[in-house]
Structure 1
Amino acid sequence: MAKLKCLLFGLLLSLCLCDAVKILAVFPVPSPSHGILGDNMVKHLLDGGHEVTYITPYVSKQPSHPKLRIVDVTDNTNFFSDKMLDVKQIMSGAMNLQDNEVLFEIMVNIARLTFENPNVQKLLKDRTYKFDVIIGEYMFTDLYSSLPAVLQCPFIWFSTIEPHSMILSLVDGPVNPAYYTGYLLPEIAPYSFSTRVRELWTLVKALYQNNAQFYAKEEEIYMKTLAPIVREQGRPVPNYNDLKYNASLLLGNTQVAIGSSIPLPQCYKHIGGYHIADPVKPLPEDLKKIMDNAKNGVIYFSMGSNLKSKDLPEDLKQGLLKVFGGLKQTVLWKFEEKLPGTPKNVHIVQWAPQQSILAHPNLVLFVTHGGLLSLTEAIHFAAPLIVIPVFADQFLNAKQAQHKGYAIKVDLSYHLHEDLKVALDKVLGDLPKYTARVQELSVAYHDSPMKPKEALNFWVNHVVKTKGSPHLKSVALQVPLYQRVYLDLLAIIFVALIVLLIVVKKILCLVMGKKNTKVKTN
């Protein structure tokens, strides 16, 4: 019996070792929400028995694990961090975080700093360690897709936001702007004629910027930081443009119940919600007591990890306190410092376990900035929303949530407290309707053959087992853009029409010429 147990243990161990793969996870963006996504992805990959090398600026938060190797890019926080976001400049419009060029400049410089980092250079030059697959975070730059030039293994994109034409162009093609462009122009289809024109113009402009303006800078960084390592390995340097379109898979931090249902390529896989703890951690005793005793329910207010409530204008903070104080519900406000003069029903929370708060049965409403993590958690725990978008994809998230019927969008402005009061009265006055709608979406979200963390591990394993999953790659990548939109056919039709007009004109001239000759003869 003991021998049989040893044999079975050895068999199980060998199976685990066979399935274990060596993964490089690249999450260098110094933003807390991106850190949450990277940390949880690494956790699930480690739980799946894999060996993970993790490029991250959040080294101090990483647990000790025998199969985890950390590559420190903390220096990225010196270039960009949430502390650089000035809420007053955002409210006045002086800081435009919707601008594609601004976002690209920030993210391409983060990628450059990552590639130039001595720790990353050391990793890339280490010939003793081989990877089976790379997972790179897409954030307004294509540069991370060039890593296979050095490491010679399949590459998987991970998109932190809703699918959009910039990322889909790398694995298939742009989405038809007649009904969707993603974060570029946050509108919900069906569009009016003028909106369709704006959507088309926005997409054409973004594609031009990406393939003309931005491409040259990315290629320059690639040739400076990665190409020399490839040459040291004794191999020819691959063309950067070829590397851009060579991803094996695109993992999306989305679920159809949350975003828009649009045509997606076979290589796009939904894993949104993998960051949510299962089971959710219990609330701290003080918060549990507050929420348990909230007879009229709890409203949770948080502007996320990047924007600080403490930085709001003083008049606005006092206005919000007055609005919250006039409610019968208990309000939990995530606020980064003590706030004097709070009403009895308002509780300031400097650190808030958001998932645990949303999971509490007395939670009736979540007031949020509209980040995709918060929206996913709201759907997961079936919490109605009021959304106050600030930048990037949050405007699209807010409009989609409102369109789906479980949220109201409110603009961030100097009269936020007035607009928020109107929204609160509307939602709380018809709370059963908003709650029922979000519960319907929550059922759709949870009704899936695999949990998000299981889907993550399955598809990463699939790419490795199938040697880059060439069967999932879209044939659209082999078809030039001018053929996809039939520009060649339009050119032929245009030329044919011109030729036809010329022929008709000449025939008419000949006929008219003969008539004139007859008249003169007579």
Structure 2
Amino acid sequence: MTIAEELAARNHSITYLTGFESTRERPNIREIYVPGVSLFTMITNTFNTSYFQMFKILLPELHKLCPNLLATQEFQSFHQEGGKFDLVISGLMSLDCFLPYVHTLQVPLVYVFPNMVQGSMDDVAGTPFFHSLGGSMVLSEQFPYSFKCRLIVTFHAEFAKFINVWYSLPKMERECKSRQLCPDGLPSLVELRINSSLFITNSVKTLETPTMPYTPTVVHAGGIHCRPPHPLPQELEEWVSGSGDAGFILFSLGSIVKPSDMPIQYRIVLAKVFGSLNQRVLWKWDEDSVSEVTLPPNVRLEKWLPQQDILGHPQLSLFMTHGGLLSLQEATYHGVPIIGFPLFADQYYNVGRAEGEGWGRLINWEDLSYDLLRNTIIEIINNNKMREEVQRRSVVMRDQPVPPGEWVTYWIEYVIRHRGAVHLRSPAVHMPCPKSLAPTGKKGSNVSECSLTTLAAPSLKGMFVTSGDSEMHKTMDQRCTVAGR
């Protein structure tokens, strides 16, 4: 929504299709609520579901989510209006079934990705990705990487591309066509997916570790939502100000995790540690009380909190977080050290980066204990080096030629002015074999990679024989034939 608001502020008329219902009216923005099933509603309890369990649950259903949105009355009504647009901005995650609609509009496509460019998407972004430098969303290990980690990063990136190109996208396309939601006679979703003009990534370029090369179509928008703090509500201000020189701690697990799903043993440890501290603790919780736990008097529960206003408060000592990227960007912007308790997706990677960069600590839930948590909190609060490092990063983050919102808006308008800005696009997106395994990016490495892909293909096909998905095998044969030209 932040990008939409930035464009609307420059008098662009925005039609915003969203899965989140809102009653707030914004100038120049028409919101169309498209009800659907969120990926996260399929996970009943994030505390008890591992990354690979999530993958197992979500993979069979991913190809249905997007067609289900196309089939809603809300989208069909919007589609029948036949509106004219200058450009389409779309999320990259599991929304590919909208691409035929974008293709019929004959307008430029801009992708938005909620994290750094990953090796699993260099074929879409058209930018080189070096597995020896870039990490993986499923790992907390940070640069410089061990050989084992580089192997895992490489496998994860190529396996994710394999699953997407040869399984998920063809299956989504068949689902759309079987329900008459996608017209025949158009290029495949795999082909349409690489036809983007801009790739907006939620990353601060000057804070990436290590630095990476990018093509001109990759635009960094990290911190676009960050802002200076506003005054707190009076009652809350009086409470946090009453913490005195000791300060206070903010503990929030974000907007997706349901805190009341937390196992009782974790609640007991947290409450016991909080009660032993000199600091007050502001705890975001989704119920009126923490069941089966007696909270100490220095702890205050709130169902909703103005997070950026709290992070910008001068008496805040520490931010305890789930490790969502937006939260960590806000912590960086306001110069607050963190303790991260990751649960899923990119949170392990995000918190691992903060720890590797020297302004945070990672605690796995299964390792949580009274001594570990209390010692970590005391270490960070008393460690001036960690606060100095995050405050240094805050200065770097803010030191940009223009604010991220203006930067992103400029490049979106640039694409409109130049009718897709085809001259900026990398030819790499049209190459049959990805170059991401090449340490130097030299052409010769493609030959060996194609050979490896060809050798691996029979084994990979055999792995999926039990699925009965012959269409996937056919797609794979076609892709391997093209790659061998």
Helix, strand or coil for the counterpart of 1:251? strand
Helix, strand or coil for the counterpart of 1:59? coil
Do 2:207 and 2:396's aligned partners in 1 also have CA atoms closer than 8 Å? no
Q: What is the CA-CA distance between 1:224 and the residue it aligns to? A: 4.9
- Greater RCO, 1 or 2 (C-alpha within 8 Å, sep 6+): 2
Question: Residues 436 and 487 (structure 1 numbering): CA distance in 2 closer, same or farther, change over 3 Å?
Answer: closer
Scaled by the length of structure 1, what TM-score is found? Answer: 0.78
For 1:68, give the aligned amino acid.
I
Q: Superposed, which structure 2 residues align to 1:403-422 within 5 Å?
A: 403-413=356-366, 415-422=368-375
* Unaligned 5+ runs, structure 1: 1-37, 495-522
Q: What is the CA-CA distance between 1:457 and the residue it aligns to? A: 1.5
Q: Are 1:368 and 2:321 matched, yes or no?
A: yes
For 2:393, give the aligned amino acid.
L
**Equivalent in 109, 131, 136 of residue 85 of structure 2:** 131
Farther-moved stretch of structure 1 (467-476 vs 390-399): 467-476
For 1:180 and 1:80, locate their aligned partners in 2 and report how far apart those are by CA, in whole Å: 26
Q: What is the CA-CA distance between 1:323 and the residue it aligns to? A: 0.1
C-alpha distance after superposition, 1:287-306 (max 9, x if no partner): 11112222111110011111
Q: What is the CA-CA distance between 1:216 and the residue it aligns to? A: 1.3
Q: Are 1:45 and 2:7 matched, yes or no?
A: yes
Q: Which residue of 1 aligns with 2:468?
A: none
Do 1:175 and 1:181's aligned partners in 2 also have CA atoms closer than 8 Å? no
**Equivalent in 474, 497, 520 of residue 426 of structure 2:** 474
Q: What is the CA-CA distance between 1:282 and the residue it aligns to? A: 2.2
Q: Which residue of 2 aligns with 1:5?
A: none
Do 2:336 and 2:387's aligned partners in 1 also have CA atoms closer than 8 Å? yes
Helix, strand or coil for the counterpart of 2:124? coil
Q: Are 1:112 and 2:67 matched, yes or no?
A: yes
C-alpha distance after superposition, 1:221-273 (max 9, x if no partner): 454568755x7xxxx52343321110000111111355432222211111112
Q: What is the CA-CA distance between 1:331 and the residue it aligns to? A: 0.9
Question: Residues 108 and 45 (structure 1 numbering): CA distance in 2 closer, same or farther, change over 3 Å?
Answer: farther
Q: Are 1:248 and 2:226 matched, yes or no?
A: no
For 2:430, give the aligned amino acid.
Q
Q: What is the CA-CA distance between 1:109 and the residue it aligns to? A: 3.0
Q: Are 1:179 and 2:128 matched, yes or no?
A: no
Do 2:100 and 2:182's aligned partners in 1 also have CA atoms closer than 8 Å? no
* Unaligned 5+ runs, structure 2: 436-441, 453-485
For 2:239 and 2:450, locate their aligned partners in 1 and report how far apart those are by CA, in whole Å: 72
For 1:374 and 1:258, locate their aligned partners in 2 and report how far apart those are by CA, in whole Å: 15
Do 2:70 and 2:98's aligned partners in 1 also have CA atoms closer than 8 Å? no
Q: Are 1:55 and 2:17 matched, yes or no?
A: yes
Q: Which residue of 2 aligns with 1:284?
A: 233
Structure 1 stretches (4+) deviating beyond 4 angstroms?
A: 79-84, 101-107, 224-229, 482-485, 487-494
Do 2:251 and 2:320's aligned partners in 1 also have CA atoms closer than 8 Å? yes
Q: What is the CA-CA distance between 1:370 and the residue it aligns to? A: 0.5
**Aligned residue-pair number:** 441
Do 1:333 and 1:348's aligned partners in 2 also have CA atoms closer than 8 Å? yes
Do 1:164 and 1:174's aligned partners in 2 also have CA atoms closer than 8 Å? no
Q: Superposed, which structure 2 residues align to 1:390-469 within 5 Å?
A: 390-413=343-366, 415-430=368-383, 432-469=384-421
Farther-moved stretch of structure 1 (385-394 vs 308-317): 308-317
* Alignment root-mean-square deviation, CA: 2.7
For 2:423 and 2:448, locate their aligned partners in 1 and report how far apart those are by CA, in whole Å: 32
Q: What is the CA-CA distance between 1:193 and the residue it aligns to? A: 2.3
Q: What is the CA-CA distance between 1:94 and the residue it aligns to? A: 9.1
Q: Are 1:346 and 2:321 matched, yes or no?
A: no
Question: Residues 441 and 144 (structure 1 numbering): CA distance in 2 closer, same or farther, change over 3 Å?
Answer: farther
Q: Which residue of 2 aligns with 1:486?
A: 444
Q: What is the CA-CA distance between 1:62 and the residue it aligns to? A: 3.5
Q: Which residue of 2 aligns with 1:188?
A: 142
For 1:396 and 1:426, locate their aligned partners in 2 and report how far apart those are by CA, in whole Å: 22
Do 1:222 and 1:240's aligned partners in 2 also have CA atoms closer than 8 Å? no
For 2:30 and 2:126, locate their aligned partners in 1 and report how far apart those are by CA, in whole Å: 33
Question: Residues 440 and 227 (structure 1 numbering): CA distance in 2 closer, same or farther, change over 3 Å?
Answer: same
For 1:247 and 1:94, locate their aligned partners in 2 and report how far apart those are by CA, in whole Å: 30
Helix, strand or coil for the counterpart of 2:116? coil
Q: Which residue of 2 aligns with 1:69?
A: 30
Q: Which residue of 1 aligns with 2:187?
A: 238
For 1:47, give the aligned amino acid.
A
C-alpha distance after superposition, 1:421-479 (max 9, x if no partner): 2321321232x111100011111100001111112221111110110111221121233
Question: Residues 414 and 314 (structure 1 numbering): CA distance in 2 closer, same or farther, change over 3 Å?
Answer: farther
Q: Are 1:307 and 2:266 matched, yes or no?
A: no
For 1:382 and 1:428, locate their aligned partners in 2 and report how far apart those are by CA, in whole Å: 13
Percent identical: 27
Q: Which residue of 1 aligns with 2:216?
A: 266
For 1:194 and 1:238, locate their aligned partners in 2 and report how far apart those are by CA, in whole Å: 39
